[in-house]
Amino acid sequence: MNNTLALIKPDAMQKGFKDEIREDIMNNGFIIAEEKTLHLSVVQAKGFYSIHKDKPFFEELVEFMTSSETHIMKLEKANAVSEWRNLMGATNPAEAEAGTIRAKYGTDISMNATHGSDSNENAEIEINFFF
């Protein structure tokens, strides 16, 4: 078993997709080992996404991620990082394969419904950030 960190972001939470996304996750063989809902502070959002601090979209990202609540989950499955990224689909919902979470629930490249760790190393860092 491996772990990854999954976020249901403010856009999907505001649109009421939390339960559907959790169902998709469990129907795809993941165990939700830990979970909580938080309204991220600016400090938390900047800290979590510090890897993107020099990107042109950083301020927009922090503003979006602090706009309302985020649901935070530690997921368990074999190859959890790649399995969750496959289930989410491409970062830009317009490019995400039909049936993926971002294709179903995302709005645009900023408001893309969910987040997932991009490596086992970052999964450990991101899980420790919130749990």
Per CB under 6 A, residues contacting ligand CMP are 52, 57, 60-61, 91, 109-110, 112, 115
Residue 110 C-beta: closest distance to ligand CMP, Å: 4
Q: What angle do CA 65, 47, 86 make, to 5 degrees?
A: 60
Residue (3 or 112) nearer to ligand CMP, CB: 112
Residue 91 C-beta: closest distance to ligand CMP, Å: 5
| From 39, 52, 71, 115, active-site residue | 115
Residue 38 C-beta: closest distance to ligand CMP, Å: 15
Residue 2 C-beta: closest distance to ligand CMP, Å: 18
Residue 115 annotated to the active site: yes
Q: How far apart are CA 99 and CA 104, in angstroms?
A: 6
What are phi and psi for residue 33, nearest 5 degrees?
-80, -35
Picking from 100, 116, 89, 90, the residue whose alpha carbon sits closest to that of residue 3 is 116
Q: What is the DSSP string of 36-104?
A: EEE---HHHHHHHTGGGTTSTTHHHHHHHHTSS-EEEEEEEETTHHHHHHHHH--SSGGGSPTTSHHHH
Please identify every residue annotated as catalytic. Answer: 115
